[in-house]
Structure 1
């Protein structure tokens, strides 16, 4: 079940189905309900509340059924933006969402967003149109189906989709409903693609379409695994490394810290699962992280690191060998493929389990006489700065982050999303969160435009304010300000405007190259926002920042804060510029 790896000790029990309940998804009467309508009813029963996409003639019957349903029908400007928005809406609401797209480029435009959904652990169902059987192979306009089209093979499960099918006949809705119901029960996300020929969308749905599903529990750690974890962790100092996969187990993580005295570090996506202002928190790892983490590990010299919900990839670790403890990792995850992948040579005890269930079992067995190991630290990172405002010159990114912390993080409950590039490096490094669910970043897949468009979906998904920290390059590449205006979404864009792809520029310089091809023409994003019906304010000096952010947070509807940032303050990307051209030996 797992990849062989030096030092890897598998202690895994596979998921075992337990038939405990039966659910009926759809009750359709033959002749009165079409396939499109029955599928929409199925999505409603699955918990879908929002569908994002761009309509086209070939998908019109399904879209018409959507528009008549209780699902919010959200027509965006671009399919990639719609898919990114659906991804962030799913993660913000902890519910499944849907994406709709027409044939040909409609489908292919959505693919990057669907890849982001898979990488981020979202639950998203893509419904696209395909060419009807009688028209296939005849050079139909935008011909698309399972074995032909611009990207063949999109209707089979694999690296992109957990489940995919071209629905060739109405009777296949039985299987579709079952597979979707099974999929949305996964704790690690689920991405599906249903391809609907035009001729099938309007066909009559099967009579009395009911799906009986035996529910299951997520994988559980064996008693032997818990016993071995206790032998490794309960009698010697260890450090906990929390990632995004542990976000639902925050209270259990805190209880384990209290019982054990362990220090805590987190991946960029794990910010806030354990309070970053707690004295036992030592910092963030990976891109935009803190070098102090490695200093603390050298000082404390833990025997083991308990890894909860991070896959320790480059974005989360930079593959730093200084993060590998002498005794190796105790790695807990629901996906067995992650064990030993990032650090193949590190001794690893692998436990396939849902993290909350694992922690409950571990705490129940924790020895009552175990003394919390509270290491004394001679130093602690002071990476959070609140520098005085300069009266002249462009805004320093670190100063911008200090004001975002004060106005947005500390004084509101808004969700903050950091776009790939220098934006997320500064946010990962400078912002501090005390609870999970407030911060979203994608340091591994890292699609530009994901947060510039995803902020609209995040605001819709949570039913409140969402703020995106984005670069001007990403904002020019893809944004959905117009869609936010159409649906009056409380989305805020804080744009780090430096007329440059600055992550690339600074990366080239760090690698010893003379930067080239990174400059872009200066853009007035406030004018662009107002042109499509939004509002905004331009910030050119640091003393203007606080008032601008306060205005943005008080304004209903979409708002742009266009910040002219200093171009030469180097973003804290850590080892990224060296690992890019060859990973260190790990």
Structure 2
């Protein structure tokens, strides 16, 4: 007899899942029945929040949904922060949990791990939350989850299976149902192409949704001779291209470039304030002439635009390019490379003007990139990450991501980097975290060692929450609570059997990175 729990594992295999992150408990034993004999690797974090962050990093690195198994109640509530992070950053993640026996739900009897309404709670943060109450509901729930990841804006999906359902006999599985992104509306594509063809000084705004559409994005930029402004999650696209502007639209110089354009084409970007108005000064003005390409209809409806094209970024760009091939450009020159170069120069100068420490912070990030070409840099909310989110040109699409935008969960970096390393074992992965944030998820070092995740943990040790301290001083608030004592990182490395080194400069960091072994490593960057 095949149980529902065993059938679940088989379905995940059929959908291409090769790794799940989770901590087993008495409420998920039946979900684990089929794992040992499957091809799916199980990774055990040290906290369920770590499971969620690992699934996040795995998904961003691989392009496939990350999957977490968690127990009823506290296991699931521990995962909510990670689910909120992927919701904010449009990352596909499937969370499968237990829930108490069907007859007990909502009764308040006080069973172990009981919540008043577990699914109702999850519906507030997940794209969808489904309860599987019998064998016939299992495969539709799984197929529907994977369809959501492909046909709309990705995010967290939750499926719960009651304790008294997991071990019941399963139904015979059918061929899995697949889904494709929506095809772009031809009339909208033609209308967008018409506006684009008429533009004299266009600009392109590319977000994380365009990460997989690099070739088409480059083709459009060169066709239009248009500067391409990248949000933090779009970094790595058009690396070192003369049209790229790897700088935040929160900077005045970048806003000036956008404001001087007669058309903006926005691709896979939600125009979130942490990218476009991180200083909350209200200074970003939406272009009057705007063409948007986005897979999420609700997202398109949230902002005004001249033309809205609902589809996947790659499909939308290719459709627009196909129509543009038959249309002549308007007279005049765009001077795209000149505008982009001037904006890059102004943005770097503006970054220097924001504070004397910022250039050194950015230099540390650039040292990582140059020492380990093609690496993934997974960041936490720490000073060099903030600096690079303002201006930094990474060398691979999707290779720079962090939790300092969107939801902004501290402690994200270490477990997310582990997930990314397990997804791409042949690619160098660097976790850039602060000494304060590192302590949120410090125990996940054990998971890195145990799973042989090749992560280089770089700890920016400024002995506290320096960014918050600066913010307090800027508004004449006496700093309180911003100096949590860091541990002795050398001893932490020894406890987890990790190679350790300590540096205090970008050149020293680069040297330590080049000497890193084929195993997890801890590098402490001591900041004066």
C-alpha separation between the residues in 1 aligned to 2:276 and 2:439? Answer: 30
**1:204 paired to 2:183:** no
Stretch deviating more after TM superposition (542-551 or 419-428): 542-551
Query: Alpha-carbon deviation of 1:120?
Result: 2.1
Match of 2:68 in 1: 99
Alignment equivalent of 2:17, drawn from 48, 64, 81 = 48
Map 1:32-43 onto structure 2 (within 5 A). Answer: 32-43=1-12
- 1:248 alignment partner, SS class: coil
Stretch deviating more after TM superposition (420-429 or 479-488): 420-429
C-alpha separation between the residues in 1 aligned to 2:485 and 2:281? Answer: 37
Asked if the contact 1:418/1:451 (under 8 Å) is kept, the reply is yes
C-alpha separation between the residues in 2 aligned to 1:538 and 1:46? Answer: 43
C-alpha separation between the residues in 2 aligned to 1:511 and 1:452? Answer: 31
Asked if the contact 2:151/2:180 (under 8 Å) is kept, the reply is no
Alignment equivalent of 2:433, drawn from 456, 460, 470 = 470
Query: Alpha-carbon deviation of 1:524?
Result: 1.9
| Cα-to-partner distance string for 1:110-134 (whole Å, 9 max, x where unaligned) | 1111222222222222111221235
Map 1:513-524 onto structure 2 (within 5 A). Answer: 513-524=477-488
Match of 1:354 in 2: 312
C-alpha separation between the residues in 1 aligned to 2:328 and 2:506? Answer: 54
C-alpha separation between the residues in 1 aligned to 2:328 and 2:110? Answer: 75
| Cα-to-partner distance string for 1:83-120 (whole Å, 9 max, x where unaligned) | 00001101111112210111221111111112222222
- 2:502 alignment partner, SS class: strand
C-alpha separation between the residues in 2 aligned to 1:540 and 1:405? Answer: 15
Map 1:44-443 onto structure 2 (within 5 A). Answer: 44-133=13-102, 137=107, 138-144=109-115, 148=116, 153-154=120-121, 158-186=123-151, 188-206=153-171, 208-211=172-175, 213=177, 215-275=179-239, 277-286=240-249, 290-297=251-258, 301-318=260-277, 323-324=284-285, 327-339=288-300, 341=302, 348-366=306-324, 367-370=326-329, 373-375=334-336, 376-377=338-339, 379-382=342-345, 398-399=359-360, 401-409=362-370, 411-442=372-403, 443=405
C-alpha separation between the residues in 2 aligned to 1:421 and 1:72? Answer: 31
C-alpha separation between the residues in 1 aligned to 2:96 and 2:480? Answer: 41
C-alpha separation between the residues in 2 aligned to 1:195 and 1:484? Answer: 28
| Cα-to-partner distance string for 1:149-172 (whole Å, 9 max, x where unaligned) | 6x56146xx442223222222222
C-alpha separation between the residues in 2 aligned to 1:212 and 1:361? Answer: 29
Query: Alpha-carbon deviation of 1:222?
Result: 2.6
Cα gap change, 1:198 to 1:451, in 2 (>3 Å): same
| Cα-to-partner distance string for 1:16-72 (whole Å, 9 max, x where unaligned) | xxxxxxxxxxxxxxxx21110000000111111110011111111212322331111
Stretch deviating more after TM superposition (87-96 or 167-176): 167-176
Query: Alpha-carbon deviation of 1:135?
Result: 5.2
Query: Alpha-carbon deviation of 1:293?
Result: 1.4
**1:452 paired to 2:414:** yes
Asked if the contact 2:197/2:327 (under 8 Å) is kept, the reply is no
Cα gap change, 1:337 to 1:237, in 2 (>3 Å): same
Give the alignment's Cα RMSD to 1 decimal: 2.6
- 1:477 alignment partner, SS class: coil
Match of 1:564 in 2: 526
Query: Alpha-carbon deviation of 1:429?
Result: 3.4
Match of 2:353 in 1: none
C-alpha separation between the residues in 2 aligned to 1:472 and 1:153? Answer: 36
- 1:107 alignment partner, SS class: helix
- 5+ unaligned residues in a row in structure 2: which ranges? 350-355
Match of 1:528 in 2: 492
Query: Alpha-carbon deviation of 1:472?
Result: 1.1
Cα gap change, 1:89 to 1:384, in 2 (>3 Å): same
Query: Alpha-carbon deviation of 1:325?
Result: 6.2
Query: Alpha-carbon deviation of 1:217?
Result: 4.3
- 1:562 alignment partner, SS class: strand
C-alpha separation between the residues in 1 aligned to 2:327 and 2:263? Answer: 21
Q: How many residues align?
A: 509
Cα gap change, 1:290 to 1:204, in 2 (>3 Å): same
C-alpha separation between the residues in 2 aligned to 1:540 and 1:240? Answer: 38
- 5+ unaligned residues in a row in structure 1: which ranges? 1-31, 386-394, 567-586
Query: Alpha-carbon deviation of 1:425?
Result: 0.9
Match of 2:352 in 1: none
